[in-house]
Amino acid sequence: MTASVTSEHDTITVHVPLIFAKRGGRKQVIVPDGASSWAPPRARVDNTIVKAIARGFRWRKFLETGIHTTVEDIATAEKINPSYVSRVLRLTLLAPALVEAILDGRQPSDITLAGLMKPFPVEWEKQQCSAAI
């Protein structure tokens, strides 16, 4: 942070370097590395990811109980693309610790729904250290 004072009009100009980033559809202020923060960061629950995970578990229950027998049946009932249903169903394979962190808003800032919709390792140990997740 830098500050300058103009003595003619007693004007103070403060320059604070920061970046605005979108996370879960919300804007988040990111301060530069090494900058002291005036408050500890609050947990931010990414509702977009939470809803997708909940939807995936609901659809998995439909398949397990026989309410729907195929991904195509779910897609037809929900009026969405079968490919999307498959990608959301894959979220049920996330490690329980990662799902808990997402539900609590403790997930790393680089975890997004778009990133989770891409293929990821099904082994829970590999998910914890995977850069994609």
**pLDDT at site 100:** 94
Per-residue pLDDT of the chain (133 residues), as tens digits, is 565 656 666 777 877 777 777 666 677 667 666 555 556 666 788 999 999 999 999 999 999 999 999 999 999 999 999 999 999 999 999 999 999 999 999 888 788 999 999 999 999 988 875 544 5
Closest CA to 13 of 27, 2, 24, 25: 2
**pLDDT at site 5:** 59
Bridge partners, 14 (sequence order): 3
Domains in the chain: boundaries: 42-129
12 close to 3: Cβ distance less than 8 angstroms: yes
Closest CA to 82 of 102, 63, 54, 65: 63
**pLDDT at site 97:** 92
pTM, rounded to two decimals: 0.67
